[in-house]
Amino acid sequence: EGVGEALAAAGFPHLDQSLLASAWRLGVPVTVHVAVGTDIIHIHPGADGAAIGRASHLDFRRFATLVAGLEGGVLLHVGSAVLLPEVFLKALTLVRNVGHRVERFTTVNMDFIRHYRPLTNVVQRPTLQGGRGIHLTGHHEIMVPLLAAAVLEALEAGDAA
């Protein structure tokens, strides 16, 4: 939220092409899950590890809050082979352990190839108590627009299932 709002407030050009600015404008939550040392910015002398860690932790907590409301919903996981499958599984475990019923939902993993973690931690394990896990293999630039078109077509036909 903060970055999207800051981008909009600064009046940068091309805000309509910014994922973060668009999400802020539409009220759609976005979370960022940082693994310290994985991004080039982490070696910059001005990088503040404490601030990065705190922001990432706050985003994890926000993500867990969203996962707590996943019952009857859909989780789309697009193109993260390691970090995000772990983040999702930990958030799901957390919310279930504190009493949220999150059993009947659909997970969709989309990637170029089948990786162990997304298949296990997004498609299989989370849906053992119910729900449905789907894995779609293909190029994102083809698969994501096809999925979006299929969802729009189903919504227009009144078939939200």
**Cα 30-128-81 angle, rounded to 5 deg:** 45
Q: What is the pLDDT of residues 11-25, one digit of tens each?
A: 999 999 999 999 999
Predicted TM-score (pTM) of the model is: 0.88
- Partners of 135 in the beta sheet? 109
User: What is the span of the domain harbouring residue 137?
Assistant: 31-156
Total number of domains constituting the chain: 1
11 in a structural domain: no
CA 24, CA 17: separation in Å to the nearest integer?
A: 12
36 in a structural domain: yes
Helix (H) / strand (E) element for 20: namely: helix 19-26
110 in a structural domain: yes
Q: What is the pLDDT of residues 63-118, one digit of tens each?
A: 999 999 999 999 999 988 889 999 999 999 999 999 999 999 999 999 999 898 88
